[in-house]
Amino acid sequence: MNEQQQRCKDEFLHNDQIMAESSPLTTHVLNATDGVPAARMALSLHRLDSKLMIWAMLSVGTTNQDGRCPGLINQETFTPGMYKLRFETGSYWEGLGQPSFYPYVEVVFTISEPEQRFHIPLLMSRFSYSTYRGS
């Protein structure tokens, strides 16, 4: 990597860090099969409309080279309620030329104190996944 490419990469990572720090909700997707971040995975964030009982899409994104997707939601939009992160795992594995059992993974969670920060990692392989509330 030449000096200009390294500067661009450093600036990109710095901007991602700033966006992640300003978002009350972050995620990190790891490909546990290969032991690497799951780069270029599409995902979306939804909130449940409790009156209509339907999911409203709030944002879409793609994980960066580090498997993170900064800037999912801002503090003003992050209100108490039920949320869902949908990870397009099938497309990710297909892009690597590998079949997978799960076409997507949906992680549903409840936010009661939106002033806190929430981190939702997804560790996955082609045939399993695990998640937890991080900090």
* DSSP H or E run through 93: helix 89-95
Amino acid of residue 24: P
Q: 86 labelled as ligand-binding?
A: no
Classify residue 60 as exposed, middle or buried by CB count within 10 Å of its CB (0-12, 13-18, 19+). middle
Q: 119 labelled as ligand-binding?
A: no
The C-alpha atoms of residue 64 and residue 58 are separated, in whole angstroms, by 19
Q: 28 labelled as ligand-binding?
A: yes
Give the residue ranges of the annotated binding site for substrate.
28, 68, 132
Residues at the annotated binding site? 28, 68, 132
